[in-house]
A and B are shown apart, each in its own frame.
Chain A
């Protein structure tokens, strides 16, 4: 009996707090979503599509305004958020693996992941490793064997900078497959996945590393032969004939998540409201169809769980970057 009383009391207070928090924060007027890129990129899409749904589903009282704040690969927006808007609870900022990669490699000088609050991830784009249709390589292990024999004989093209996400996926995969000199693997960086794919189609470069969404068209047309998708399980139809890396004995997953962070000094009430809102949004059919249209796969984390995931990812990338001599 003695034990249950405090428990009940605790439960009661939590309930009151929970009920209280539902009332304590509601956005008033316009909500701001910062896309840390020029119009047209992934972050811009994240802001605009989430903003549109928040308006349509009447989750926010007024409009959601997307502000494009390009610069330093998201660094300008990150700096802006922590310095000028640190208590603005009506602000969300689009983020992805590119954000954590830059944080891990200290490309946002003087800033770190714990200066903001990580709200939620609303889907992911899984990594693939592919070759041209006429390539002699037919499985991930064929390619790995060639790399093991001579790391300079195979070249990879991707849409991110050296040390960026597309490069890291190659390194991760090679490491998981037991390649010892991963630093020697050739990686060529392009402005976007599409440019990299043309180089594969033209026969100039051996393999493509990118995300599934940017390659769907080329997979359908048969121009790209996907050797492995870096997901836990096979992707839903019609992409279910692509083998995962895991099936081929290479234990690696590369999920490029899409999500949001908030300013670091907002009240816990408002943070919880946003976490709850993103959970709600993720469950709607409208969001599911947006994901489907844009090649995003199911992937949802929010609140503390998401925050832990982000910090772990930063740690992993940081280790890998040191290994290849990118950072000290």
Chain B
């Protein structure tokens, strides 16, 4: 009851005309920023902080605008995933897998609509979760020590077969390649440089934005050059938007489930939206079993990661608001903003700054409604972009990729590196080695290694610590099930289907 009162107070803050307008501006800018590869939500929010200061906004208004930018960026990431096969930001990576095939089949508008609705549902599910569970979940997250985190990352890899199941050996090769590349840089546990060849740019390891843009976008460009040599029709077929309410309803269960999965992933500090969208996709693929056509343009394959990453984005606000711990780069920026507004984040925030916290939560709900209203009519505009012939579009895509990557550290080295990853991506795709495990290895490798080594340091080298708590054992059990189950259940199901 008290919670409801707080929420109502929050709405009374979020719904003033000025704040509503700011939320609208934030949503729009956020969508644009999210759609541009390289310009992730973290940068988007950071770029707009000075705007908030220049306008002289009071704390709650500034936060409402920036929260809207954050939510908007999570929506925007899907646009370039679907239309160009370039993830607008990391978490939108999984949306490429089915979104781009849908676009190639002339269903770009459907994919964009479904993903907008899924984003909305994921976000709403997670916001409700945030309202109800924030205090409880903050305590639960404390139970995760090094061993539990390590088991969680093993779980992520164990479910990898779910997305790229055709050839397990190739999946393993791809994941191993990613994990190997993730060891480049200063080893945080000993401070020693590994595989850096005394090259400054390699000391901090490989920036995965560079890897993602290279592997996906540049390799796409290489394929395009090979196929068309400058001529040819549009890469993506254009159709009129002919989506029925029925099709949207068909993805509702997927969106709801994935919103929950994403939210849980988001709550864990450090896990983040990328893990959220990845877990959502694999879990949903498992749940749907033989009924899915994931990877070939299944609408549910678009809905799952979008609901997942929006769920995770809001889930990441739980550790930020309850513990002052950023679960992602973007929440780190929001946290910095809070600090500069004279609000000390930490376990006392719900008590000391209830108005701000609930204002942000109400702003999330309002922002999501605005985003849905904003995104559906805008789909026509996005799809129109596709009528641009590829010979103009591809250079633009390349330009966007180059500008985005260069803006990270203004270093030509990153550009060479991006092209190298493009060539690698081209070779991998030619040999049918899946790209997603490579990225996942690169993304999760450092965290997985860190937690394993922490566990070993704490136990003085005793491996049994890895399954020393009930929570850890539980996660291991799920991981083993995730790995083994498909090989047992799969054949049984197939037999049954043959019989019937």
How many Å lie between the Cα of A48 and that of B319 in the bound state?
A: 25
Q: Which A residues touch B408, using CB under 8 A?
A: 70-71
A205 part of interface (Cβ distance < 8 Å)? yes
- Across the interface, name the chain A residue whose C-beta is closest to B43: A39
- Across the interface, name the chain B residue whose C-beta is closest to A109: B198
Q: Which B residues touch A75, using CB under 8 A?
A: 200, 203-204
- The answer to whether B411 touches A162, judged by C-beta atoms less than 8 angstroms apart, is no
- Evaluate whether A198 and B323 lie within 8 angstroms (CB atoms) in the complex, with A80-B410, A155-B457, A188-B454 already known: yes
Tally A residues with Cβ within 8 Å of B.
56
Which of A49, A71, A201, A326 has the most B CB atoms < 10 Å from its CB? A71
- The answer to whether A162 touches B190, judged by C-beta atoms less than 8 angstroms apart, is yes
- Across the interface, name the chain B residue whose C-beta is closest to A217: B346
Q: Which A residues touch B339, using CB under 8 A?
A: 45, 293-294
- Across the interface, name the chain B residue whose C-beta is closest to A223: B347
How many Å lie between the Cα of A293 and that of B190 in the bound state?
A: 35
Q: Mark B28-53, 1 if CB is under 8 A from A, else 0.
A: 00000000000000110111011001
Segment among A11-19, A189-197, A257-265 that sits at the interface with chain B: A189-197
Interface positions of B from 446 to 460, Cβ below 8 Å from A: 450, 454, 457-458, 460
How many Å lie between the Cα of A172 and that of B323 in the bound state?
A: 29
Q: Which B residues touch A205, using CB under 8 A?
A: 458
- Evaluate whether A186 and B457 lie within 8 angstroms (CB atoms) in the complex, with A202-B145, A217-B349 already known: yes
A254 part of interface (Cβ distance < 8 Å)? no
Interface positions of B from 1 to 50, Cβ below 8 Å from A: 42-43, 45-47, 49-50
How many Å lie between the Cα of A69 and that of B409 in the bound state?
A: 4
How many Å lie between the Cα of A276 and that of B473 in the bound state?
A: 61
B191 part of interface (Cβ distance < 8 Å)? yes
- Give which listed residue, A52, A79, A105, A217, contacts B191 with CB less than 8 A: A105
Interface positions of A from 136 to 155, Cβ below 8 Å from B: 152, 155
How many Å lie between the Cα of A263 and that of B203 in the bound state?
A: 22
A10 part of interface (Cβ distance < 8 Å)? no
Q: Which B residues touch A152, using CB under 8 A?
A: 460
- The answer to whether A45 touches B335, judged by C-beta atoms less than 8 angstroms apart, is no
A286 part of interface (Cβ distance < 8 Å)? no
- Give which listed residue, B45, B270, B346, B410, contacts A39 with CB less than 8 A: B45
- The answer to whether B143 touches A202, judged by C-beta atoms less than 8 angstroms apart, is yes
A76 part of interface (Cβ distance < 8 Å)? yes
Q: Mark A77-109, 1 if CB is under 8 A from B, else 0.
A: 101100000000000000000000000010111
Q: Mark A209-235, 1 if CB is under 8 A from B, else 0.
A: 000000011101101000000000000
Q: Which A residues touch B47, using CB under 8 A?
A: 39
How many Å lie between the Cα of A157 and that of B348 in the bound state?
A: 22
Interface positions of A from 161 to 182, Cβ below 8 Å from B: 161-164
- The answer to whether A199 touches B145, judged by C-beta atoms less than 8 angstroms apart, is yes
- The answer to whether A161 touches B144, judged by C-beta atoms less than 8 angstroms apart, is no
* Minimum distance in angstroms from B470 CB to a CB of chain A: 14
- Give which listed residue, B49, B269, B340, B450, contacts A294 with CB less than 8 A: B340
- The answer to whether B409 touches A217, judged by C-beta atoms less than 8 angstroms apart, is no
How many Å lie between the Cα of A140 and that of B270 in the bound state?
A: 31
- The answer to whether A48 touches B50, judged by C-beta atoms less than 8 angstroms apart, is yes
Interface positions of B from 131 to 179, Cβ below 8 Å from A: 141-146
* Minimum distance in angstroms from B472 CB to a CB of chain A: 12
Interface positions of A from 105 to 141, Cβ below 8 Å from B: 105, 107-109
* Minimum distance in angstroms from B144 CB to a CB of chain A: 7
How many Å lie between the Cα of A198 and that of B45 in the bound state?
A: 26
Q: Which A residues touch B345, using CB under 8 A?
A: 217
* Minimum distance in angstroms from A299 CB to a CB of chain B: 19
* Minimum distance in angstroms from B199 CB to a CB of chain A: 8
Interface positions of A from 31 to 82, Cβ below 8 Å from B: 38-41, 44-45, 48-49, 52, 66-73, 75-77, 79-80
Q: Mark B112-148, 1 if CB is under 8 A from A, else 0.
A: 0000000000000000000000000000011111100
Segment among B326-334, B370-378, B385-393, B423-431 that sits at the interface with chain A: B326-334
- Evaluate whether A109 and B325 lie within 8 angstroms (CB atoms) in the complex, with A44-B336, A217-B347 already known: no
Q: Which B residues touch A70, using CB under 8 A?
A: 408-409
Q: Mark A285-301, 1 if CB is under 8 A from B, else 0.
A: 00000000110000000
- The answer to whether A107 touches B333, judged by C-beta atoms less than 8 angstroms apart, is no
The 6 nearest A-B residue pairs measured at CB: A217-B346, A39-B46, A163-B191, A204-B145, A194-B325, A40-B333
CB<8 Å pairs between A and B, sample of 25: A39-B46, A39-B49, A40-B335, A40-B336, A72-B203, A73-B186, A73-B203, A73-B204, A76-B409, A77-B409, A107-B203, A108-B200, A186-B458, A190-B450, A194-B325, A198-B141, A198-B325, A204-B458, A216-B344, A217-B346, A218-B324, A220-B346, A293-B342, A326-B190, A326-B191
Q: Which residues of B contact A (CB under 8 A)?
A: 42-43, 45-47, 49-50, 53, 141-146, 186-193, 198-201, 203-204, 207, 269-270, 319, 323-326, 329, 332-333, 335-336, 339-340, 342, 344-349, 408-411, 450, 454, 457-458, 460
